[in-house]
Amino acid sequence: MGEWNVIATAHENGFRRCRELLQRFGPVAGTRYFNVLVLLADDILMMLETLRLQAAAHPEMFSALSRVIPVTQRFNFQSPEDFEDGARRIAGRLAPQLAGKGFHVRMHRRGFRGRLSSPEVERLLDDDILAQLEKAGTPGWINFDRPDAIVAVETLGTEGGLSLWTRAELDAYPFLGLD
């Protein structure tokens, strides 16, 4: 699949329109997963802001787009154990940003069916982050109603990525599709 830092999913019959919408931000490629594209965005913040402004001005343009989610840190894995090690390592780096906040982990898995369970991974990373925050004396808590932040976990086959999104970003960029 090459290099990527954004995963996008298209609604049914919207693949081509999504590709056209995203290609101005960098190279876009299809994947082996139905209606899933990857993008190597030159400037993620500029992409998010441009999409936000376009969605407000021309919501019909987004009828083809289901969600767009950048990842800030990526890793490769060959087994469920490799995945857990990589995801835990990165989640640990994100944990200090969750000090004293309500959050949860949300995973979207593509591939490794029957080998990775999204709910189990979400609980594992939630628990790891909570333990790290407690140990640092800055406890956080799990919040699904209106969290201060969400840790996004994305997989494409044997590639994974994580990113952290604050409440302000979740409100500004509803096309992230995390809530």
Domain count, the chain: 2
- Measured CA to CA in angstroms, residue 158 lies from 17, 77, 82, 143 at distances of 27, 5, 10, 29
In tens, the pLDDT along 5-48 reads 999 999 999 999 999 999 999 999 999 999 999 999 999 999 99
104-155 pLDDT, tens digit each:
999 999 999 989 999 999 999 999 999 999 999 999 999 999 999 999 999 9
Q: Is residue 149 part of a domain?
A: yes
Last residue in a domain, options 70, 94, 121: 70
* Tens-place pLDDT, residues 59-100: 887 889 999 999 999 999 999 999 999 999 999 999 999 999
82 and 63 in a common domain: no
Report the CATH number that the domain containing residue 133 is assigned in CATH.
Answer: 3.30.2130.30
Specify whether 127 is located in the same domain as 87: yes
Same domain for 103 and 39?
Answer: no
Whether 126 maps to a domain, the answer reads yes
